[in-house]
Amino acid sequence: MKLAVFGEATVSLGGQLVPRVPANFLRIIVYLLLESPNHSVSRGKLAQVFWSNTDQAHASMNLRQSLARIRKFQEQYGLNLVQGDATYVYLNLSQVRAELLSIDLLEYLEFAQLGDIESVLSLAGLYTGDLLAHNEPQNSDFDEWLDVQRVKLRDDLITTLLKMVDQPVGVSIDEKRQCARKLIEIDPYQEVGYRTLMQTESQLGLIAKVERTFRECAKKLRDDLDVDPEEETIELYQQLLPKLSPATTRALILPQPAPPLVTNGVEIQTPQSILPTIQIEQNKKAGLPRVMVLYMPHNAADPMEQLAASLVDDITIGLCRLRTLSVVAPYTSKRIVTDSPINSFEGLREQFGVNYAVDCKIVRLDGFCFLSVKLIDVATQEIVWAEKQKFDYVLPEQQYRQLSIRIILSVVSLIKKSELDRYNKLYQDPNAYYWYLIGKRDVDRSRPSEIASGAPGLQEFSHCVTGLRAGAQRHRAHDAKGMAHACAE
């Protein structure tokens, strides 16, 4: 029997998935493997971690019920892995040692202790995704604990892979390529992986693949993050393909300069590295709100300012991963704040198409530090949302991550609400009735039965049309009233 907890957690027997696995079976196994070196935890602690949102009596009862379901499941398949007594819950690994049972996480932990290239490749093969990737959060302490463990395992593997691709001896070209591919799989923005592939492809004489890998790297960064490859990546590409001039190399990834803007008769030359890109225009056409997280100048010797600047970078990268927003890249934000002549929100809107700005600052008050965050509507310069959060450089990693996620979610939800409010005002558009007639014509061509009994998307569309019809009736009534007034006069 095989237990897999990386990626999609499964239990399989003879290559077939085992159905109706108890909900907490794999969760308890993961907790016991990572939390205690002897794979044993007290019943009280386990109940508190898994059911922290209830009192101790109910948590203990829930644990008893879970263990009873697990015991029944194990008896059905001849397992004795999860065991318990009056005080402790623990793992019995005798079947693992007898090779009757395998657990990918246990194998992973064993290989992680070795450090040789064969073990690292085994780690890469076992890591098929985040730990318990499809775990349904239960608002318990276990969810927070799991988040921390996921990040630790992921970061440790990235560090190990980076170490292997940088090894001057003892690692073959093929092994380096395997490590590089895994790096890119785990973190698609990890340029070291792309550079390693380019170097090894050049060593193997695969020049066409060098160019293909570089283009893939540049496209991924441009499409997802609106940034260009690092200088080191560009320089390596130029070295490996010396027949290309630097200008030709950069033309593969950089947009052509835009003409200078003229404001009040004065020409403003935008720095080359922060020019708007074609992607901005595409986002405008798609109707995506464009957001800029303002770069926060900071003193590198001040740990509070350093931590706050890191948090701002994390917020920017988190927003960049969303498809519902267009986000100004961090390096562009830095250049705008520090180097460009733009000194007003109006300039951000006109020159870079920015709709919303996120402004973060460290505020010191009564011996405490606070992180002040504001979301600003650039067009109206109205503060849409503001929050002040107590901030400390000894902030635990989990709380730091939660703060970053909470700010990202707040920004996204408030922008969504603001945009919906703006679009809800469009019923006052004098062309609204015309678009209603166009939509009605297209709907009337469809058979009503198809809409009534069709997919949920069609049913939702039907509801939208009903709403439009009601809006149009109000619009016509308003117009008729206005015409009556005009005739009377």
Q: Has residue 259 been placed in a domain?
A: no
Verify that 57 and 94 share a domain, yes or no: yes
Task: Tell me phi and psi for residue 42, to 5 degrees.
Answer: -65, 150
Q: For position 161, what pLDDT does the model report?
A: 94
472 in any annotated domain = yes
**Which residues 6+ apart lie within 8 Å of 389 measured at CB?**
370, 371, 373, 403
Residues 135, 41, single domain; the answer is yes
Domain extent, residue 452, equals 429-488
Number of separate domains in the chain: 4
Which one of 196, 231, 251 terminates a domain? 251
Same domain, 392 and 466: no
| Per-residue pLDDT at 256 | 45
**Alpha-carbon 20 to chain mean position:** 31
The predicted-structure confidence for 306-348, as pLDDT tens digits, reads as follows 888 888 888 888 887 777 788 887 777 887 887 766 567 777 8
Question: Angle 351-310-153 (CA atoms, 0-180°, nearest 5)?
Answer: 125
What is residue 173's predicted lDDT score, i.e. its pLDDT?
93
Q: Does 343 lie in the same domain as 481?
A: no
- 129 or 473, higher pLDDT: 129
Distance separating alpha carbons of residues 322 and 312, to the nearest angstrom: 16
405 & 311 share domain: yes
Together in a domain, 291 and 398: yes
CB 324 within 8 A of CB 420: no
Residue 265 lies in a domain: no
What pLDDT score does 483 carry? 39
Question: 143 and 16 in one domain?
Answer: yes
The reply to whether 398 falls in a domain is yes
Identify whether residues 84 and 121 lie together within a single domain.
yes
pLDDT in tens, 44-101: 999 999 998 889 999 999 999 999 999 999 999 999 999 999 999 999 999 999 999 9
Residue carrying structure tokens 């010396």? 242
Examine the domain organization and report whether 419 and 439 are in the same domain.
Answer: no
Are 326 and 460 in a shared domain? Answer: no
- pLDDT tens digits for 460-481? 444 444 444 444 444 444 444 4
* The two structure tokens encoding residue 9: 């957690």
In the chain, % of residues over pLDDT 90 = 34
For residue 180, tell me if it sits in a domain: no
Q: Which of 374, 393, 425 is the last residue of a domain?
A: 425
Within a domain: residue 264?
no
Residue 479 placed within a domain: yes
8 plus 132 within the same structural domain: yes
Q: Are residues 192 and 143 in the same domain?
A: no
Q: What is the pTM of this model?
A: 0.55
* CATH number of the domain bearing residue 373: 3.40.50
Mean local confidence (pLDDT), 144-148: 86
Q: Is residue 316 part of a domain?
A: yes
Find the range with the poorest average confidence among 43-57, 162-176, 265-279: 265-279
Final residue of a domain: which of 372, 401, 425? 425
